Amino acid sequence: MAVEHPVTAPSGDQTRIHNIGYRSYDGPRLGRAYATRSLYSQSLRGAYGLGRSVKSKVLPMLLFVVMCVPAAIMVAVAVATKADELPVDYTRYAIIMQAVISLYVASQAPQSVSRDLRFKTVPLYFSRPIETADYVRAKFAALASALFVLTAAPLLVLYIGALLAKLDFADQTKGFAQGLVSVALLSLLFAGLGLVIASVTPRRGFGIAAVIAVLTISYGAVSTLQAIADAQNSTGSIPWIGLFSPVTLIDGVQSAFLGSTSAFPGGIGPSNGEGVVYVLVVLGLIAASYGLLMRRYRRVGL
């Protein structure tokens, strides 16, 4: 192929680097806020398996259905029997279904952050305009929103059903609002804890087990200790023991301020003073998990 090209003598201004038409981008640059919003919406969709494979839709959708079906059954029963109130308070519902909520957090928190760590995509995110705080906020907000959807949907079913059954409007609206506040707190708390634990390990399986262990074992331990304290008649210590597990924390907050009956043994919820401590601990935990996540992502895998 060594063909000698005849070297034509360059003549005048005809020599130039060939222009093949590259252009610089001069459209709008959407910037940091847009990138954060995209990360948020992608993570939120991912938490329900939308935009992912069919297999990864199964579990979140199944848990969502499992959350809503009992509410639908309760409503159906209430309508059919013409009851004058729902069989379960709005605030109680999430406490009863805590196993499902825990499983959801355990399966979706590692899905949200562990894979980024394992496939080393986090540095790619940070090569975009977003910063640590944006990444953490987007992931935190996405998981909390996903949890809120999961926990608020059955309440909505209950509320609509209650209105259809012609229960007292003001009473039901108040209960519904209280329930929403409680599940919002629960979503933030669970999302924070789940993400902090999941962000430590790049192994998805280990993250799932760790999250579920923290949520269920702490609940098991706390409720066992409370039952023993109740049997020993040291009722004063019951509320203080309840501070050590996420579920009992939410239970304590709502029985102190949101007018629900406590699931603590003997039905002894925290008093208002103790309730303040509960609220402070919940808010403190949420803030602490945000802080820990910020710390975790200050330097990632470079």
Partner 1 sequence: MYDPTVARLTYRALLGRRRALILSALPLLLIAISVVVRGLAGADDQTASDLLGGLALATMVPIIGVIAGTGAIGPEIDDGSVVYLLSKPLKRPTIIFTKLIVAVAVTMVFSALPTLIAGFILNGNGQQIAVAYTVAALVSSIAYAAVFLLLGTVSRHAVVFGLVYALVWEALFGSLVPGARTLSVQQWSLAVAHKVAGGDLVTSDVGLTTATVLLVVVTVLATWYAGQKLRALTLAGEE
What is each CA distance from 146 to 15, 62, 136, in whole angstroms? 61, 14, 15
Cα separations (Å) of 184 from 119, 154, 157, 288? 32, 13, 17, 17
DSSP 48: T
Total residues belonging to the chain: 302
Q: Does 193 bind partner 1 (CB under 8 A)?
A: no
User: Of 16-24, 54-62, 177-185, 187-195, which segment contacts partner 1 by CB under 8 A?
Assistant: 54-62
Q: How many CB atoms lie within 10 A of CB 82?
A: 8
Question: CA 178 from chain center: how many Å?
Answer: 19
Q: Are 214 and 197 in contact (CB under 8 A)?
A: yes
106 is a site residue for partner 1 (CB under 8 A): yes
Task: Tell me: does residue 208 bind partner 1 (CB under 8 A).
Answer: yes
Residue 203 as a binder of partner 1 (CB under 8 A): the answer is: yes
Site string for partner 1, 24-53 (x = CB under 8 A): ----------------------------xx
Rg of the chain, C-alpha, whole Å? 27
Q: What is the nearest approach in angstroms of partner 1 to the Cβ of residue 299?
A: 19
If the CB atoms of residues 164 and 221 are measured against partner 1, the closer one turns out to be 221
Taking CB under 8 A as the binding criterion, the range among 34-42, 80-88, 94-102, 260-268 that sits at the site for partner 1 is 94-102
CA 27 to each of CA 24, 30, 35, 105: distance values in angstroms, whole numbers, following the listed order: 9, 9, 16, 40
DSSP 75: H
Binding track, positions 229-258, relative to partner 1; x by CB under 8 A: x-xx-x------------------------
Among 160, 163, 177, 228, binds partner 1 (CB under 8 A): 228
CA distances from 132 to 49, 123, 125, 290, 299 (A): 25, 10, 9, 11, 9
Exposure b/e, 251-283, CB count within 10 A at least 16 = b: bbbbbbbbebebbbbeebbbeeebbebbeebbe
CB of 120 closer than 8 Å to CB of 301: yes
Q: Looking at 69, 76, 124, 217, which residue binds partner 1 (CB under 8 A)? A: 217
- Is residue 107 at the binding interface for partner 1, with CB under 8 A as the rule? yes
Q: Number of residues in contact with partner 1, rule: CB under 8 A?
A: 33
59 scored as a contact of partner 1 (CB under 8 A): yes
Q: Is 95 within 8 Å of 70 (Cβ atoms)?
A: no
Taking residues 113 to 152 in sequence order and writing x for each that binds partner 1 by CB under 8 A, - otherwise, the string is ------x---------------------------------
97 or 162, CB closer to partner 1? 97
Stretch that binds partner 1, among 29-37, 143-151, 209-217, 254-262 (CB under 8 A): 209-217
Told to check if 95 binds partner 1 by CB under 8 A, we report: no
Rounded to an integer, what distance in angstroms lies between the CA atom of residue 150 and that of residue 101?
8
CB of 27 to partner 1, least distance (A): 33
For residues 145 and 216, which CB has a smaller minimum distance to partner 1 in the complex? 216
232, amino acid identity:
Q
Residue 193 or 256 with smaller CB distance to partner 1: 193
Residues that bind partner 1 (CB under 8 A): 52-53, 55-56, 59, 99-100, 102-103, 106-107, 119, 203-206, 208-210, 212-213, 216-217, 220-221, 224-225, 227-229, 231-232, 234
